[in-house]
Amino acid sequence: MDIAEVAKHTGVPASTLRYYEKQGLIASVGRQGIRRRFAPGVLDQLALISLGQAAGLSLDEIRSMLLPNGQPSIDRQMLADKADEIDALIKRLRAVSRGLRHAAACPAPSHAECPSFQKLLKAAASGALEKRWRRPGLKLPYK
Amino acid sequence: MDIAEVAKHTGVPASTLRYYEKQGLIASVGRQGIRRRFAPGVLDQLALISLGQAAGLSLDEIRSMLLPNGQPSIDRQMLADKADEIDALIKRLRAVSRGLRHAAACPAPSHAECPSFQKLLKAAASGALEKRWRRPGLKLPYK
DNA sequence: CCTTGACTTGAAGTTGACTTCAACTCGTAC
DNA sequence: GTACGAGTTGAAGTCAACTTCAAGTCAAGG
């Protein structure tokens, strides 16, 4: 497959594919003239990369889960750890969501007088809420 | 309060406070010599900013929720919308977490043969999983 | 008076994951 | 044989939210 074909099948832009190759995340199987040729297996690798990103992994981390041949060699413990991380994130997000909803429904004339909003503010001020996550996330299937 | 005091109370670095001021997110009440002085109210504003960040708002969005005087003027509908967004994100994250856990527990010799892992991969490949979220998130209180 | 330390400034640097660009090379079609 | 479209390259640009830096300004203490 040439790069356009891979891009079409995966939705990953050609520029990104070249970038991934440079980063050692995927590999082309030789060239036809000047053009890269990819084995069909690259589609699976790209799926794996997408999954890793959805799970909140950096490209560096994802690379560390790939054998030199591109096959995944994934530590099950790492998967479980990542799941734990995501669960913790979910917990925090639910707290924020609940707080926001409460504040949205709060009948106080201004948020300055809404106790639940104040509570949220206090939590935020205390540093209990994270300001920035390490990284990207996911789009998801089952909507 | 001077900038160091605000920094100490809030944990927000002085450099960030200056940055926020430049961005119009907070305001100082005059100077003492060359040094900024802040009214205590700035602590509340910073709490609000933290909360906004935890809810996934960009600084631009947060600014749009502030009146020129720094008081929040928050659209309740917007809060509800944000809560919806967060809930949707939670849904996606839970799918990923479940998938990861399943894969971690999967007894197949390699993930290449694990059906649930394959399913996850397929979801990721389909673009159902987001690669990058718009932005930061939260750290959270109730751990 | 001079040093010290905390503050000031605007400009430039950082990070991660890409995208965009100019300049170039092919294979194919006319 | 030449124009075209699609690929190639390395370098530079983008975005957000900051941080870092050099150079300068003060107030207070010794």
From first to last of its 143 residues, chain B has per-residue pLDDT tens of 999 999 999 999 999 999 999 999 999 999 999 999 999 999 989 988 988 888 788 899 889 888 767 667 778 888 888 888 888 888 888 888 888 888 777 766 666 677 777 777 777 777 666 665 544 433 333 22
Q: Residue B47 and residue A91: Cβ atoms within 8 Å?
A: no
Does B115 contact chain A (CB < 8 Å)? no
The pair of structure tokens assigned to B87 is: 């809930």
Predicted TM-score (pTM) above 0.85 = no
d(CA B61, CA B53): 10
- Give, in degrees to the nearest 5, the angle at Cα B74 between A128 and A109: 105
**Crossing angle, helix A115-125 and helix A76-105, to 10 degrees?**
140
CA B29 to C1' D29, in angstroms, rounded, equals: 28
Per-residue pLDDT tens over the stretch A25-70: 999 999 999 999 999 999 989 988 988 888 788 899 889 888 767 6
CA B134 to C1' D15, in angstroms, rounded, equals: 11
Reported as half-sphere exposure (CB side, CA atoms, 13 A), residue A124 has a value of 27
The pair of structure tokens assigned to B131 is: 């690669």
3-state helix, strand, coil split of chain A in percent (to 5) is: 55, 5, 40
